[in-house]
Structure 1
Amino acid sequence: MADIAIFYLVAAESGDGGRTVPTNGGDVRGTVQYIKDLPDKPIHTFLGIPYAAPPVGNLRFRAPQPVVPWEGARDATKPGPYCPQGQMVFQLFPYKFHHYDFDEDCLTINIETPTVEKDAELPVMLWIHGGALFLGFGYVAPFAALVAQQDVVVVTFNYRLGALGFLSTGDENAPGNFGFLDQVAAMAWVQENIRNFGGDPDRVTIFGESAGGVSVGNQVVSPLGKGLFRRAISQSGTYNTMEIEKKPLEIATIFAEEVGCEAKDTATLVDCLRQKTADELVHGAERMMKLDSGEWGKYFYPSLDGNFFPEHPRDLYNNGQVNDVDYLLGVNNNEYGFVMPSSMSSNFGPDGMTEDAFILELEQLVERNYPGTKKDSIVAAARKVYRDQDNPDDPMAIQHQFTLFSGDQMFVAPTVDTASKHAESGSKVYLYELHYVPSAKAASRPEWATGCDHGDDLRSMSGWPFLDIRLADGGVLPFSSEDRNFSRHIMTYWANFARSGNPSDPTGGPTDSPVVPEWPQYTHDDPAYMNLGLTSSSDVGLHPERTALWNDVIPKLVASSNKEEL
């Protein structure tokens, strides 16, 4: 599983001064909101706009269809239902949600913009949420601070998740990747409608974190994304962070049996699944994933469908067929530092980790990711790289090496590999490692859980330190002056990139934006990257020995093992 870390927040909004704007489905009437440091700047907000037909009945397990038009001005002051998923999403995080409604009629889009003048032609940033492709939703936290401070249009949306979004029978009955096709439909909607909301359809940047970053990476390689966006930002996830499912029909068959459908043939299987309620499918998927057991269950991953993926994404890169878009991508400096191992590894905790436990984790990963290979040489190569030379026997040092090993395998090495491949394709690339930990996050973790963890970047990038983020218990999420300073810093980089393709170039941006250090472009000959923190600086070569292990050494050992088997 690539991640389960997603963060959802709520801020107060104003209901006065809403505007009515036309779309290709009909008129929508929105509302306005304000942020604390710009009290006189209304952010026009439109929520819950359908961008495709409800994927229900016979449209379940099919590509999204055109939106069903409506008459009159549709109320767009509340977010639409969330796409079906488990209650886990509400249990994981202590925030106050807008609502708690799930429904298959969930393909809706949300817009926050500083103007609705057609000739404004502001850069557009289209957010793709994370959640391992089985959790999450588009609009729960306003992007109002990013919109107001940087004069950009921010768009968010829901897409289908889990079985409803990614089940595949490997043929025409359920080709799969429906969630990715929903993302394509949302991008197409933006192209057709965003001028009416002050946006420039020729300057669309898609951005996302974790599974959202994976989604962005897959849109970069898919031919269906061609012409729908100009730039892309992947935070903590790229196309190769999440594997392509090699046996989708096997997974679909296991799932069908779990929910009481016989798999005589794929047409019968899919027809039976269409008769089940969304709740039955969600609960069946949760049982199949074994979320509460501590075991590694079966998940719905992207599949080769011949449409969104005409070939394996790796081959699309190798054949030079990816979209020619500017790409900014990167990771946090301790992706697997605390949040994920605390919920996924029984060997992790305040007492550290033994050598035997670390070796066991290594062996299990090799067996899971490289089945049938001789694991001893791979484990030995990994243990050589991930060893604290000063404290090789210290349980806390061993545990820290375990977090680096896991984070590199899931996030860092795939990101560096993608940066290299995309740069070789001829497009501009900017790489980063983010170090800043929000103050409330740092205060809530044990002293030994150091570094910027998976998901820590979301608060800063979204501008949450400038909003009143409501908690479920009635409180407000605290932020420090340093949190606000870093948030301004990172929002400036992201918005500069969306405007011009260069995160350091302030041209066309607000005159009061912070002056940010120069961010060098990443190339094959000069693999420069940016260390992002309160004081950002550039460097060359992001953890070269560690990333080389995953991107070069281990693939060669696997290939050698496979040859021996032949």
Structure 2
Amino acid sequence: MIKKHKKFFLFLLTIIILVTSSKCFKNVLHRNLKKKLQKNILNQEVMVKCKNESFYGIEMETFTGIKYYSFLGIPFASPPIEELRFKPPEPFNFTQRRWNARFERSPCLQFHLESKKWNTKRLIFNNLALGKEDCLYLNVYTPRLPKNYFNEKLLPVMVWIHGGGFLIGGGEQSRYNPDHFINENVIMISLNYRLGAFGFLTTGNKKAPGNNGLRDQVMALKWIKERVKSFGGDPKKVTIFGQSAGAASISYLIQAEHAKGLFCRAIMQSGTSLCPWALSRDVCPKEKYKRFKKLSSKKILETSMKETIQTLALRNPLNGFSYAPVAENNHSDSLFYGKSHEKLKNCDIINQVPILLGINAREEDTIATKMHFLEKISFFLFTIKLRFNRIIKDVVPIDMNLDENKCNKDQISYLIKNHYNITKKGFTPNLMRFIGDNIFVKPIMEFAKLYSHCNKGKNTFLYEFVYDSHGVGHGDELPYFFKPNKNDSVYFISKRLIKMWTNFAKTGNPTPFKDPLLQNIRWPSTSEYNNFAYLEIGNDLSIQNNSRTYDLTFWNDLYEKCGTPPFDTY
């Protein structure tokens, strides 16, 4: 039975928390890099003065021997505890003028997947907490500290927003090593934001509007805008980039008035606001909110995780998470309101900046399928069986807003199953492909199409990452960005990716000039005028057109004939 449901469970778990960028990536890099980072500390203290505060960091060096300066655990907002729990972030009041930025602070409170305290027979989450509520900190890595602002050129800044399904993850240096970016002479900054119920619980009104995890990101960007010049960074050249839930967060920031002017470019890897998992349709009842306000932080984490798992047994997990960004009521303090698809369709985009976005060749596969995790999940097997049958039965996306008088749900379900050749014989690659298209490929490609139309065919760079003979799953590109290993046989892939990403941060164009490293390719902006050209990134770089035409045409026709706009996700 375990073998039969192995792939399905691991992907289902990924749907719950999109764990690749956090749990599995952490397994691959976190432990080894922690030891390596200790060797790269040069033990020379450095100081940066910002306004009335002084931050004391450390001098380090990259794996190639380039020196840089690391400032860790800098608070960008007040601790969101006690009366500030479930509230928008507030500025941090520096009561001490000297801040020790030589070590990292805690990640935000989350469910600890790697804990050895799992109960394999029952759903027990005791002692599985990782992190703290007091977690709103960021890390700054800069290759150069300014001596004279007037005579020195300020550096481009790249701000990393981590993934993890809005439930897990953090900005730790041992997960997201800055070496590759430092080598290209840019400043890299990583940050934490509140997760799960702490960051995304909503009562549907101003009492707890939701989206506080996104508000944390905005607060961090404001801090960066005001102070990054002291670290040698150009506040007018801030690029935000992220993967999965981090990428979806960025696409919400693009549409947010409160984020206006805080960044000039954006990179979204495997996620947008149109992904069905990137929107929660759940509202917290008033009684539950009052109860959560009084509980301990660990009890809230345990309770909310149990509810998340139990919810999966009652509804289709493809229809979104319990704790994720929400569409707020339209008021002066709302961060995001309305329907994302409709906003993009009407070009109602607040921050219309150049973007670079894309997918991996097989988003439906994950690093999780390579991990030995089954010994911890015997208590999930019953849920697996229920969910497997439910997904097979209910393949019609919730965001179609299907009108039964217009299109019969059973007929639409039949068309989808027939297109993907989905049967009830078991968990097949065909079902996997449907899931990947439904929650990643379709919404990301739709975002690119709508955004490029609003930009009139300019400044929208689309890619598909295909490097790997076994197929590139969700999150499989991350080691090429954050694993510093110049002896690796695929180091050239890292160099190419980093060069294009940093070129984009510096100029707004990933290939601004001919470069032998990039095979002298010129990456065109995607639009309907060039048949939606995109860059295929594999052993070689090549310009292609109309990615996934067969499947996307099917979905576009289906939404047009049977969907009821306006849509929120797609």
> So what's the TM-score if we normalise by structure 2?
0.79
Q: 1:29 aligns with which of 45, 53, 56?
A: 56
How big is each residue's C-alpha offset from its partner over 1:479-526, in whole Å with a ceiling of 9 and x where there is no partner? Answer: 7322x111001111100111111101259xxx9966552211101222
* Preserved CA contact (<8 Å) 2:355 2:460: yes
Letter in 1 for 2:219: A
| Alignment-derived partner of residue 364 in structure 1 | 394
How far the C-alpha of 1:457 sits from its partner, in A, is 0.5
In structure 2, the CA distance between the partners of 1:512 and 1:559, relative to structure 1 (3 Å rule), is: closer
Alpha-carbon distance between aligned partners in 1 of 2:67 and 2:467, rounded to the nearest angstrom: 30
Is 1:545 the counterpart of 2:550? The answer is yes
Q: 1:229 aligns with which of 251, 260, 263?
A: 263
Q: 1:335 aligns with which of 344, 358, 363?
A: 363
Q: 1:275 aligns with which of 269, 294, 318?
A: 294
| Alignment-derived partner of residue 144 in structure 2 | 115
Is 1:61 the counterpart of 2:86? The answer is yes
* Preserved CA contact (<8 Å) 1:333 1:451: yes
Alpha-carbon distance between aligned partners in 2 of 1:515 and 1:153, rounded to the nearest angstrom: 26
In structure 2, the CA distance between the partners of 1:514 and 1:366, relative to structure 1 (3 Å rule), is: closer
Alpha-carbon distance between aligned partners in 2 of 1:47 and 1:81, rounded to the nearest angstrom: 11
Q: 1:504 aligns with which of 495, 511, 518?
A: 511
Q: How does 1:415-454 map to 2 (within 5 A)?
A: 415-426=444-455, 428-437=459-468, 450-454=470-474
* Preserved CA contact (<8 Å) 2:358 2:464: yes
* Preserved CA contact (<8 Å) 1:331 1:434: yes
Alpha-carbon distance between aligned partners in 2 of 1:137 and 1:25, rounded to the nearest angstrom: 28
**Count of matched residue positions in the alignment of Structure 1 and Structure 2:** 494
Alpha-carbon distance between aligned partners in 2 of 1:107 and 1:56, rounded to the nearest angstrom: 11
Q: 1:125 aligns with which of 158, 178, 184?
A: 158
Q: How does 1:100-499 map to 2 (within 5 A)?
A: 102-117=131-146, 118=149, 119-139=152-172, 140-242=174-276, 247-249=281-283, 252-253=284-285, 263-264=286-287, 269-290=288-309, 299-305=322-328, 306=330, 307-322=334-349, 323-339=351-367, 361-366=391-396, 374-387=408-421, 399-426=428-455, 428-437=459-468, 450-466=470-486, 480-482=488-490, 484-499=491-506
Alpha-carbon distance between aligned partners in 1 of 2:231 and 2:516, rounded to the nearest angstrom: 24
More off after superposition, 11-20 vs 147-156: 11-20
| Alignment-derived partner of residue 529 in structure 2 | 525
Alpha-carbon distance between aligned partners in 2 of 1:33 and 1:291, rounded to the nearest angstrom: 46
What SS does the aligned partner of 2:160 have? strand
Letter in 2 for 1:167: L
In structure 2, the CA distance between the partners of 1:232 and 1:516, relative to structure 1 (3 Å rule), is: farther
Alpha-carbon distance between aligned partners in 1 of 2:446 and 2:460, rounded to the nearest angstrom: 12
Alpha-carbon distance between aligned partners in 1 of 2:280 and 2:239, rounded to the nearest angstrom: 31
Alpha-carbon distance between aligned partners in 2 of 1:341 and 1:557, rounded to the nearest angstrom: 35
CA root-mean-square deviation: 3.2
More off after superposition, 212-221 vs 363-372: 363-372
Is 1:45 the counterpart of 2:89? The answer is no
* Preserved CA contact (<8 Å) 2:513 2:522: no
* Preserved CA contact (<8 Å) 1:367 1:375: no
Alpha-carbon distance between aligned partners in 2 of 1:276 and 1:228, rounded to the nearest angstrom: 35
What SS does the aligned partner of 2:96 have? coil
How big is each residue's C-alpha offset from its partner over 1:218-254, in whole Å with a ceiling of 9 and x where there is no partner? Answer: 11112222111111111010111145757532xx13x
How far the C-alpha of 1:43 sits from its partner, in A, is 1.5
Alpha-carbon distance between aligned partners in 2 of 1:341 and 1:293, rounded to the nearest angstrom: 20
More off after superposition, 269-278 vs 68-77: 269-278
Alpha-carbon distance between aligned partners in 2 of 1:131 and 1:518, rounded to the nearest angstrom: 33
How far the C-alpha of 1:16 sits from its partner, in A, is 1.6
How big is each residue's C-alpha offset from its partner over 1:94-138, in whole Å with a ceiling of 9 and x where there is no partner? Answer: xxxxxx961111000101110111433111111000000011101
- Identify unmatched segments of 5+ residues in structure 1: 93-99, 254-262, 346-356, 443-449, 467-478
In structure 2, the CA distance between the partners of 1:499 and 1:395, relative to structure 1 (3 Å rule), is: farther
Letter in 2 for 1:287: K
How far the C-alpha of 1:301 sits from its partner, in A, is 2.2
In structure 2, the CA distance between the partners of 1:144 and 1:325, relative to structure 1 (3 Å rule), is: same
What SS does the aligned partner of 1:414 have? helix
